[in-house]
């Protein structure tokens, strides 16, 4: 490790871009970097189509004391991940948000969790710790043992006021919405600066649902922590549980039986179908077109009922575990699903035809909430939102996992990046998912579904494509227990795109834009 620290930055850059990213054997490469090389390297990386997909901190990593920052890098069309390890002396580091805008929230998250100060960052407000938390409280420090901190508190407000970016001037007014909204939605606060009816600026404040999931996982055995992965975001539970299990299986060098691989894929695609159906319905509701929505709602309910038949849970909980599945799924139910999906496709197309042949629907969807293609890389926007803006990325193809390499998957892209494009992308993806499920059911052979893993210590990264985009899970096991569990769901990065997408749109279109992006509050707040 010490040898690598002496490598100058330009050599390091060659090594990263021409060796690690392009190596044939898919892997994640951990690369310790000295402070000088790091400072030289970072400004050059964005030129090589390199993205910062996650940034997190680990205390006392692999025998060291103090903090280590993990910069997870991805390169377009490269299968591997490169993780720069930056060891800190003390609790100060320089910010890289200037070169990688996606780092902004990550750095604020680390500051809250560990108390690390990013010296030249422009935004030093707290992120997931709101006013109710005391000053100098950093829950992810190892010295803090998880407990109820409200027992002896004197008042409900600890830290100072949270200041919003506010546009001022004649004719500009502010609309404050949330955290409690008018519908049955999750909590979040939106601060609009509006001129007439046009949104001039939006600032999103989230993390109202911060439940301390990362800390909760610490000290649990890998089997106990499944429930934490499941509860990250209720409608993403299969994707998150599979990602968590992939990481644990990678550490244990375990494998999954073929049948379990196919069944997991069926569950993942069922999740994508019902999640996308909810969006298609929701977009219709938000433009006051409930007739169009109801067909999609009916289809989604039927998929949820199939979920229950297959797994016992409408949200696919409690079945996936490291090494495969806890129990088998009855093949007769799968055949029923197979034949149901034929009529499902017909009805889906009819429902979509009805909606998309309606002029007033198109009028609302077209040119609304555009996400520019240029934003996708700096903000690390993933999933249908990126594909609707003309960026053909999909982790099932770019970083294949499970049995996805056996399928020929198509990437559905649209160019305009508006709500209509996202509607179209999601509609085509539902049809693709149906095809994947039907192929999986046909390919299924009987066999065991669980290959118990023998636990080992170590760390591993897993990245999956959930319905919302790229979900990243990093697990670090020490002495058979979880030492650190880092989750970054697609919504965490995609949320920042909405601040750009709404500019120039009218306030009544905000719910529609929000729905078309389908951002999970729970998955972001953790």
Partner 1 sequence: MIEPFHNLFKARLAPRQIRRDSNFEEIGLKLKMEISSIFGRSLAIREVDSGSDNATEIECNNLSTPYYDIERFGVSFVASPKHADILLVTGAVTLNMEMAVLKTYEVMPFPKLVIAVGDDACDGGIFKSTYAVRGGVDKILPVDIKIPGNPPTPTAIINGFLALMEQLRNQPRKS
The nearer residue to partner 1, 133 or 476, going by C-beta atoms, is 133
CA 460 to chain centre: 17
| Shortest CB 354 distance to partner 1, Å | 6
The nearer residue to partner 1, 126 or 412, going by C-beta atoms, is 126
Contacts of 58 (CB under 8 A, 6+ apart): 67, 68, 70, 476, 483, 484
| Shortest CB 40 distance to partner 1, Å | 39
Q: Which of 62, 167, 185, 345 binds partner 1 (CB under 8 A)?
A: 185
208 near partner 1 (CB under 8 A): yes
- Map residues 74-113 to x or -, x wherever contact with partner 1 holds by CB under 8 A: ----------------------------------------
| Shortest CB 91 distance to partner 1, Å | 20
139 near partner 1 (CB under 8 A): yes
How many Cα neighbours within 13 Å face the side chain of 427? 21
> For every residue of 200-267, which 3-state class applies, written as one string?
EEEEEECCCCCCCHHHHHCCCCCCCCHHHHHCCCHHHHHHHHHHHHHHHHHHHCCCCCHHHHHHHHHH
Residues 316-335 that bind partner 1 (CB under 8 A): 317
Contact stretch for partner 1 (CB under 8 A) within 116-124, 201-209, 383-391, 443-451? 201-209
Gyration radius of the chain over CA positions? 23
Residue 58 host element (H or E): strand 50-59
Of 199, 69, 203, 206, the closest CA to residue 130 belongs to: 206
Q: What angle do CA 202, 205, 208 make, to 5 degrees?
A: 150
* Residue 341: strand, helix, or coil: helix
Backbone torsions φ then ψ of 450, nearest 5 degrees: -135, 130
How many residues lie near partner 1 (CB under 8 A)? 60
Q: Which of 12, 228, 268, 381 binds partner 1 (CB under 8 A)?
A: 228
Contact stretch for partner 1 (CB under 8 A) within 227-235, 255-263, 433-441, 455-463? 227-235
Write down the residue that tokens 């910062």 correspond to.
52
How many Cα neighbours within 13 Å face the side chain of 209? 17
64 near partner 1 (CB under 8 A): no
Q: Which of 1, 39, 175, 298 binds partner 1 (CB under 8 A)?
A: 298
340 near partner 1 (CB under 8 A): no
| Shortest CB 236 distance to partner 1, Å | 9
| Shortest CB 433 distance to partner 1, Å | 18
The nearer residue to partner 1, 25 or 151, going by C-beta atoms, is 151
The nearer residue to partner 1, 234 or 458, going by C-beta atoms, is 234
| Shortest CB 133 distance to partner 1, Å | 7
Tokens of 372: 């520019």
Backbone torsions φ then ψ of 27, nearest 5 degrees: -165, 175
CA–CA separation, 25 vs 93, rounded Å? 33
408 near partner 1 (CB under 8 A): no
- The residues of the shown chain that bind partner 1, judged by CB under 8 A, are 128, 130, 132-133, 139, 144, 146-150, 156, 179-180, 182-187, 207-212, 215-216, 227-228, 230-235, 237, 278, 281, 294-295, 297-298, 300-301, 304, 313-315, 317, 354, 356-359, 362, 520-522, 525
């Amino acid at each position: 490790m010490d040898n690598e620290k002496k490598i100058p930055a330009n050599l390091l850059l060659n090594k990263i871009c021409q060796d690690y990213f392009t190596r044939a054997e898919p892997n994640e490469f951990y690369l310790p970097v000295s402070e000088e090389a790091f400072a030289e390297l970072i400004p050059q990386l964005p030129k090589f189509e390199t993205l910062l997909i996650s940034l997190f901190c680990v205390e006392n990593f692999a025998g060291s004391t103090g903090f280590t920052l993990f910069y997870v890098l991805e390169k377009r069309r490269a299968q591997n991940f490169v993780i720069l390890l930056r060891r800190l002396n003390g609790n100060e580091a320089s910010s890289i948000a200037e070169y990688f805008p996606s780092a902004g929230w990550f750095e604020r998250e680390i500051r809250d969790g560990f108390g690390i100060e990013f010296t030249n960052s422009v935004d030093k407000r707290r992120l997931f710790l709101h006013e109710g938390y005391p000053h100098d409280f950093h829950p992810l420090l190892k010295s803090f043992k998880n407990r109820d901190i409200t027992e002896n508190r004197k008042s409900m407000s600890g830290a100072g006021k949270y200041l919003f970016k506010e546009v001022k001037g004649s004719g500009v007014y502010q609309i404050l919405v949330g955290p409690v909204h008018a519908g049955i939605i999750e909590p979040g606060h939106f601060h609009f600066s509006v001129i007439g009816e046009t949104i001039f600026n939006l600032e999103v404040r989230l993390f109202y649902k911060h439940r301390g999931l990362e800390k909760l996982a610490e000290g649990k055995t890998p089997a106990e922590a499944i429930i934490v992965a499941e509860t990250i975001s209720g409608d993403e539970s299969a994707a998150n549980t599979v990602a968590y299990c992939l990481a644990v299986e990678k550490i244990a060098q375990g494998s999954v039986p073929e049948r379990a691989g196919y069944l997991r894929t069926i569950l993942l695609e069922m999740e994508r179908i019902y999640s996308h159906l909810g969006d298609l319905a929701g977009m219709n509701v938000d433009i006051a077109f409930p007739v169009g929505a109801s067909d999609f709602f009916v289809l989604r309910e039927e998929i949820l009922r199939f979920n229950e038949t297959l797994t016992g849970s409408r949200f696919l909980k409690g079945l996936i575990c490291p090494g495969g599945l806890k129990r088998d799924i009855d093949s007769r139910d799968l055949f029923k699903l197979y034949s149901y999906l034929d009529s499902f496709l017909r009805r889906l197309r009819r429902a979509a035809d009805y909606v998309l042949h309606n002029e007033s629907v198109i009028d609302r969807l077209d040119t609304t909430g555009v996400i520019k293609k240029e934003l996708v890389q700096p903000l690390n926007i993933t999933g249908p939102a990126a594909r609707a803006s003309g960026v053909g990325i999909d982790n099932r193809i770019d970083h294949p996992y499970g049995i996805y390499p056996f399928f020929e998957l198509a990437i559905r892209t649209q160019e305009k990046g508006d709500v209509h494009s996202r509607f179209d992308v999601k509609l085509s993806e539902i049809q693709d998912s149906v095809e994947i499920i039907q192929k999986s059911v046909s390919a299924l052979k009987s066999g065991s579904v669980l290959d118990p893993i023998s636990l080992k210590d170590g760390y591993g990264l897993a990245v999956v494509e959930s319905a919302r985009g790229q979900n990243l899970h990093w697990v670090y096991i020490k002495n058979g227990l979880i030492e650190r569990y880092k989750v970054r769901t697609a919504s965490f990065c995609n949320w920042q795109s909405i601040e750009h997408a709404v500019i120039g749109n009218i306030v009544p279109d905000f719910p529609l834009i929000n729905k078309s992006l389908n951002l999970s509050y729970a998955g972001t707040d953790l």
